[in-house]
Structure 1
Amino acid sequence: MSNVTTRALRLLALLQSRTVWTGPELAGELDVTERTVRRDVDRLRSMGYPVLTSAGHGGGYQLGAGRELPPLLLGSQEAVAVAVGLRLAAASGLEGLDAEALRALAALDRILPPTVRSEVSAVTDALGVVARPVPAASAAVLIALATAVRDGLRVRLDYEKGNGERGERRIEPRRVLSVDGRWYLFAWDLDREDWRTFRLDRMHTVHPSTFPITPRPTPDIEATVRESITVGGYTTAVVARIRRPLHEVEKLTPVRAATVTADGEHACIVRAGSDSGDLRWVAMHLISLGGPIEVIQPPELLTVLQEISTWSGAATLAADAR
């Protein structure tokens, strides 16, 4: 393969790897002059590849979209990263995406060079994803919402509440998040005039509009979603102080179990929620954190903790234990 052809393929790979490159950046990557870069860009255009040029601040070269766009060029490490991502996508909890991800993985395997294929196979064969069953969200719903977030457009949802009630929600989507295997949307609810967190598995249909979202101050999205998941949807709010540093308690607290904030250097506040007045699972989690517990609310949580202490203190060793 000639140096010109090798350089053209390298230029094509660079253009695929980033949205915009300046002439000096490409010249530095290819170790050639900017004049040579311009000639190579013209060569790619003559071969049917849509290389666009924009002037001014932030301008440069970029690969445009189109039917003549070539297959994606991947190095060995990039191919491994894509394969790992596809394996994770197959276990993502998105209805219909599992089969598509496995088909994409098979297609990737067919087009890779032998040396890269063997490296990818070695990694993917060693991978396994073990996850507890969660309600499946629709891949079509995810794509529609992600597109609306990208384009900054309002959408209408056919949404089902936890009690089974269905209705239309008019929202301005801001972020789609995967939290502990379950998918959520953070959005501004136009009818309630407040930020809301929605579960994708409860969305039956998504109808994008052409109306742009309204710029407005946005809270810390990840913190707000976590607070909504762990406390907002429950009838009883639980708050307790744990006499252990924040970084130690965070490592022991699943994302969807509770929110944890620092309370000085050696303590933190844990917030969680409970339904039907059953505080046992929250109490068991607080005990598992391994620090002195101070109940802030509700007062009956203290009784539950004491009952668990009495119950566990009565444990005995089985007669047939070895």
Structure 2
Amino acid sequence: GEAGRAAALEGLERKVKAAMRSTTLNRLAPDLEALVRAETIAVQAGPRPSADESVLAEIRGAVLAGRPLSFIYSRPGAEARSRSVAPCGVMFGRANYLVAADRESGRIQTFRLDRMTSVEAGDGLATPPADFDLAAFASQSFGIYQDEIEDVVLRVTPQGATEARGWRWHPTQTLEDQPDGSVVVRFRASGMRELAWHLFSWGEQVTIEAPQRLKAVMAGELAAAGRALSRAQS
């Protein structure tokens, strides 16, 4: 589904092969073919990542030139809006997002690429805040959505402790083994809704100790899931 990026990788592959001696390439080819057959990527449910090359080219051009980026943004259940932002970069993941600063307030926002149309770099100057760091921004959130940063404390039962110790929760995580065999996980992050969605997969093995807002978000998501189940059973 990423034709442009696939083409770029294929071009890189051709350059690497062209730079290798034929004897070396012939020796490696059977092993590489065997590894390709023996490895794959497990597909997970979620939005299909979209990275239209024309959109990416317009974004990259605007970022490099420090120019504003205008586009129409459409969200489900909401009226399409015309936006003009200072582009900061792109985050690739289960869905691909433009990271951009509001031109008036400087507030950093994210926009899904597959919801953007009529993307065009404008005239003038529009640069990110001087202290903005894309990698640091991405590491703040549990997922993509950015909101207030919270101190998260989770307690994992002894039954789930081994898996929790090997789990990458967040770049700021610390793990504390408890006398009863449980593990306390701590990290600072935003994106409580995405964290709540993830915690569903742990079932009864994880207890939310903090923050209160995460507890409230989880309660709301559980209530919504309960209503959906009730409708399905009626």
> Shorter-normalised TM-score: what interval?
0.5 to 0.7
Residues 72, 83 of structure 2: 8 Å contact kept: yes
State the TM-score, normalizing by the size of structure 1: 0.46
Residues 100, 128 of structure 2: 8 Å contact kept: no
Counterpart CA distance in 1 for 2:61 and 2:4 is 16
- Give unmatched runs, 5+ long, in structure 1: 1-92, 305-322
Residue type of the alignment partner of 2:41: V
Instruction: Write the mapping of 1:103-252 to structure 2, written as runs, cut at 5 A.
Output: 104=11, 108=15, 111=18, 113-118=21-26, 121-122=29-30, 124-125=32-33, 126-127=35-36, 128-132=39-43, 134-163=48-77, 165-179=79-93, 181-190=94-103, 193-214=106-127, 216-225=129-138, 227=140, 230=143, 232=145, 240-242=152-154, 252=167
Residues 274, 282 of structure 1: 8 Å contact kept: no
Residue type of the alignment partner of 1:206: V
Residue type of the alignment partner of 2:43: R
Per-residue deviation, 1:230: 3.2
- CA RMSD, 1 decimal: 4.4
* 1:238-295 alpha-carbon deviations (Å, 9 max, x no partner): 9741358xxx9696246xxxx56457988514654339xxx67534448666xx6414
Per-residue deviation, 1:189: 2.0
* 1:184-232 alpha-carbon deviations (Å, 9 max, x no partner): 2211122664211122222223201232224633344334345567374
Residue type of the alignment partner of 1:268: R
Q: SS of the counterpart of 2:60?
A: helix
Instruction: Summarize the Cα distance change of 1:203–1:302 in structure 2 as closer, same or farther, 3 Å threshold.
Output: closer
Q: SS of the counterpart of 1:176?
A: strand
State the TM-score, normalizing by the size of structure 2: 0.59
2:11 pairs with 1:100? no
Task: Tell me the matched-pair count.
Answer: 196
Residue type of the alignment partner of 2:153: R
Instruction: Summarize the Cα distance change of 1:242–1:213 in structure 2 as closer, same or farther, 3 Å threshold.
Output: same
Instruction: Summarize the Cα distance change of 1:204–1:226 in structure 2 as closer, same or farther, 3 Å threshold.
Output: farther
- Give unmatched runs, 5+ long, in structure 2: 157-162, 178-184, 221-234
- For the pair shown, the structure with the greater C-alpha radius of gyration is 1
Instruction: Summarize the Cα distance change of 1:212–1:301 in structure 2 as closer, same or farther, 3 Å threshold.
Output: closer
Instruction: Write the mapping of 1:17-28 to structure 2, written as runs, cut at 5 A.
Output: none
Residues 157, 207 of structure 1: 8 Å contact kept: yes
Residues 295, 302 of structure 1: 8 Å contact kept: no
Counterpart CA distance in 1 for 2:83 and 2:28 is 44
Per-residue deviation, 1:105: 6.6
Instruction: Quote the sequence identity (%).
Output: 22
Instruction: Summarize the Cα distance change of 1:293–1:102 in structure 2 as closer, same or farther, 3 Å threshold.
Output: closer
Residues 242, 269 of structure 1: 8 Å contact kept: no
Q: Which has the higher contact order (CA 8 A, sep 6+)?
A: 2
Q: SS of the counterpart of 1:115?
A: helix
Per-residue deviation, 1:174: 1.4
Instruction: Summarize the Cα distance change of 1:296–1:233 in structure 2 as closer, same or farther, 3 Å threshold.
Output: closer
